[in-house]
Chain A
Amino acid sequence: MRTTRKRSGLRSLVGALVVSASCGAAVAAAQSSEGEVVVYTAAQSTIVQAIGPLFEQRTGIKARFVEAGTGEILKRARAEAANPLGDVLWALGAEGMAANADLLEPYTVADDGKIAAIYKKGLAGGRITPNNVTPMVIVYNRKLLSEAEAPKAWRSLADARWKDKIAYAAADKSGSSYTILATLLTVFGDDDTGWKVVEDVMRNAKILPSSSRVPKGVADGEYQAGLTYEDAAMRQVKGGAPVGVVYPQDGTSVPPDGNAILKGAKHPRAARAFMDFVVSKEVMDLLAQKFELRSARTDVAPPAGFPALDAIKVVAYDMEWAGKAYPTLIKRWQDIIVRVK
């Protein structure tokens, strides 16, 4: 009953609410057995709707979901660190998770052996389990550009021909967009040459505030092409939008979304069960077949219409470097934006 003491002075106004709050607290206490797990997730709502009931069916544990963007969830988890209210993080941008590794509890999932080793690098010493992976791609509007006209490589986007014609989400607002910036610097070098390419691309680009706007804007014909990630672009393709997807010839990165248990989780056993479940073959097959997500597992085929990974030129992308270099790269990127916009 701590809650009533401090607010005793307000009783005349909020008395009724205090009573109901106490009831709420009692209910919460009654539910805090391991029959449930609280999942913080940035996964699409439709995926959450499909996986939640399936998990309960398989394990008898009720999964309660709090859905928000990666940044919002990590901020929330940090603010709650003294008294964590969530148990598991599911399908968050792995670089952001790695930057908040101190909030995470180490755990190795049951099927760890089935997860491709290349995706485990730079993931906070095994605290993060790769969930799905997604190459960075160029998306273009097929009504505005023929296949021959479409940009084939990152470097071609630096050409003045694309001035004001391409879309890019702000690197300080979108995790995937930061990955694209770091990928460009991996391809062209984190030096004056590489940054010259970045500056030329930014001069051409319209800077959008969120990553979901890029494929949508291209599909709607607002922009001829855009820099985005594979599954967002492919969902437009499958939905029947007039867009094409280009895997850049000069190489791209394939970073994972990750899962992890929060330190101090109130339902640790249920949390581990959830961690095992979401990367199980059953779930990953479902995600690939129904939701266009490329699995980090070696024994799950990519979604229909997605090229096999060996057909794509992949560069050696260093997640650890990308995480550490974040403040420096963002500052330099912002200075470029001021210069060219």
Chain B
Amino acid sequence: MVRTRRLDAWDGATGLAFVLLAGLLVLPLGKLLWASVTAEGGGLTWQHYAAFLGRPYYSRTIGHSFVVAGLVTVASLALALPLAWIVARVPIPGGPLLRTLAILPLVSPPFIGAYSWILLFGRSGYVTAAFQAWGVTLPTVYGMHGIVLALTLNLYPLAFLVASSGLRAIDHSLEEAAEGLGSPRWRVWRTVTVPVLLPSVLGGALLVFLTAFADFGAPMIIGEGYQVLPTVVYSLFVDEMGGPPAMASTAASLLVLCTTALLLVQWWLTGRRSYAMSQLRASPVERLGPAARRLCAALAYGVVGLSLVPAAIVAVTSFFEARGPVLHPRFSLGNYREILYNVPGALANSVALSSMSTVLDVLLGTLVAYLVVRRRSAVTAALDSAVMLPYAVPGTVVGIAYIVAFNAPPVVLTGTFLILVLAYWVRRLPYAVRSGAAILHQLDPSVEEASVSLGVPPLRTFLRVTARLMWPGIVSGAILTWVQTITEISATIFLYTAAWATVTVVIYRQVSSSNFGAAAAASTLLLVAVFVPVFLVNWAVTERADAAV
């Protein structure tokens, strides 16, 4: 039956998605990864893996990575879920503002964000010193728990965004029905709300886990010798002395293998449960007393405020007087004067590049999400994993692979801005796909089926019906993609040209040159440049929703 159906537009879309991924991901990366199973004289071998796993210096980082990513995921969910519920259901002052502020932690470049925690909680940090004056010695912020702290407050917005678009898309009549049938509130939660939300929660958790698993910024800054797999991959790839090339490929392949395994588990988990709703009825606000409302507001602002500490510190220090690498706490605009000559242009580059790739991501990501959720088959399952691969591949590896693949005929893209757009497109595609898929899991296919059976072609049905119902997920996916693209550095540093330097390149170079004042000023401008458009989008979305009710 399924096998005998005629090919439709979706098969074309599946094919297109595969061709894109093959050209932009598998071919460029295949060559690098192939090196991990090739012996020096040719022929297949496992010797590089044996060598890697046989050296504790390397092998112990795998366990470290799982511990860090696992703890970060649990902690992020603990912060994100209550926050998402409060923002979606409780009328607290400044909703859109809060939603926008909650995204900002994603924007502060990790190599400067994590540093703020050292400034506060390091051995000579302000907070540490204050407690010392009271005779209390705080535990050190360095090492594994420091990484977990920095990453959690950096990444919980991923889970928050996906969960809140899920909450906004819940058909409230389900909850009402349950309540109408006499279920107490807690049971409605347990038996209706939570199961329906589960795909969104798992989707968000997966994003957090994988991002934490692949992050090397925070471990580099706050790990103080606690190495994780990505830091090893980075140092092997960017070894000045040329290091062992097979070892670098092997480490990168292991990273990819670990994440692919996780993806398969997740795919299997969400595939077995399916709750869908046929209609969108905006969830009403919770009827809470003023005290409970105030508590909720305090909680929400507390979580968001805590996570904004690094950004706030960056903003404050940007106004300090810098003498070389040393910042003196005296008000000065010197840092801004210093960066005036190149940051405005770099900021414009960043906005242009990330906007282009975000449009592409949303187009392809929404299509792929639809295929993966609605057209479940072995083929789309493969597509699902393939699409998440870029997540697992460190930006460093993508950058180098892209130069090798696109620097000689038949396709020459190096030296143009296009190679950056394509690299961003591929690297950030998972955000658009996951957000789209999370919301689709909640939508009942019967609406589309009705449309198709009325004779509307599948693609038009998708555009007219499904895409509209998916809107909250698409918007949150677009915001995520854009925000995560504009802060990209690890592939950019290999692919940018003098004319297309991004603001993250400027920040990264100022940090490496120990010009912390200039770096802070540039980061602050980046934060503002992200905050304004995201706030406007959030505000517009809320207005629309309110107008609809």
Q: Which A residues are within 8 Å of any B CB, using their own CB?
A: 2-3, 5-7, 9-10, 13-14, 17, 20-21, 24-25, 28, 38, 44-46, 49, 64-72, 74-76, 79-80, 82-83, 85, 93, 95-96, 99-100, 170, 172-173, 175, 178, 206-210, 212-213, 215-216, 219-223, 232, 235-236, 238-241, 323, 326-327, 330, 334-335, 337-338, 341
Chain A contact residues, majority secondary structure = helix
Q: Flag if A235 contacts B56 (CB, 8 Å).
A: no
Write out the residue numbers on chain A whose beta carbons fall within 8 Å of the beta carbon of B513.
Answer: 44-46, 212
Q: Does chain A have a CB within 8 A of B164? A: no
27 contacts between A and B (CB under 8 A): A3-B412, A5-B410, A9-B16, A20-B418, A21-B418, A38-B498, A44-B515, A45-B518, A64-B497, A67-B501, A67-B509, A71-B238, A72-B494, A76-B403, A93-B240, A96-B242, A99-B240, A170-B225, A170-B235, A206-B224, A206-B225, A207-B224, A209-B219, A210-B512, A241-B326, A334-B55, A337-B225
Q: CA–CA, A99 to B243, complex, Å? A: 10
Say whether, besides A215-B514, A235-B324, A327-B243, A75 and B410 are in contact (CB < 8 Å): no
**A-binding residues in B (CB < 8 A):** 16, 19-20, 23, 55-57, 60, 118-119, 122-124, 142, 219-221, 223-225, 231, 235, 237-244, 322-326, 328, 338, 341-342, 356, 360, 363-364, 400, 403-404, 407-418, 421, 493-494, 496-499, 501, 505-506, 509-516, 518
Contact check, B326 vs A219: say whether CB atoms are below 8 A apart: yes
**Interchain CB contact under 8 A, A21 and B416:** yes
In the bound assembly, the distance between CA atoms of A238 and B411 in angstroms comes to 50
**Residues in B whose Cβ lies below 8 Å from that of A219:** 325-326
> What residues on B are CB-neighbors of A85 within 8 Å?
407, 414-415, 497
Query: Across the interface, do A209 and B223 meet the contact criterion of CB distance under 8 Å?
Result: yes
Known: A7-B23, A10-B16, A67-B505. A239 touches B407 (CB 8 A): no
A221 CA to B122 CA in the complex, in Å?
9
Determine whether the beta carbon of B416 is less than 8 Å from that of A28. yes
- Residues in chain B near residue A222, CB distance under 8 A: 118, 122-124
State which of B16, B238, B244, B515 has its C-beta within 8 Å of the C-beta of A327: B244
Complex A-B, nearest 9 residue pairs according to Cβ-Cβ distance, in ascending order = A239-B326, A96-B240, A221-B124, A64-B498, A239-B324, A44-B513, A79-B403, A71-B238, A207-B225
Residue of chain A at shortest CB distance from B60: A338
Q: Give, as a whole number of angstroms, the nearest-CB distance from B218 to chain A.
A: 11
Q: Is the CB of A239 within 8 A of B414?
A: no
Q: Which of A2, A24, A68, A326 contacts B509 (CB 8 A)?
A: A68
User: Which residue of chain B lies nearest to A74 when distances are taken between CB atoms in the complex?
Assistant: B240
Contact yes or no, B512 A69, CB < 8 A? yes
B490 nearest in chain A by CB position: A72
Q: Which residues of the other chain, A, contact B225 by a CB distance below 8 angstroms?
A: 170, 206-208, 337, 341
The docked-state distance in angstroms from the alpha carbon of A64 to that of B496 is 12
The answer to whether A80 touches B341 (Cβ under 8 A) is no
Residues of the A chain whose Cβ atoms lie less than 8 Å from the Cβ of B416: 21, 24-25, 28
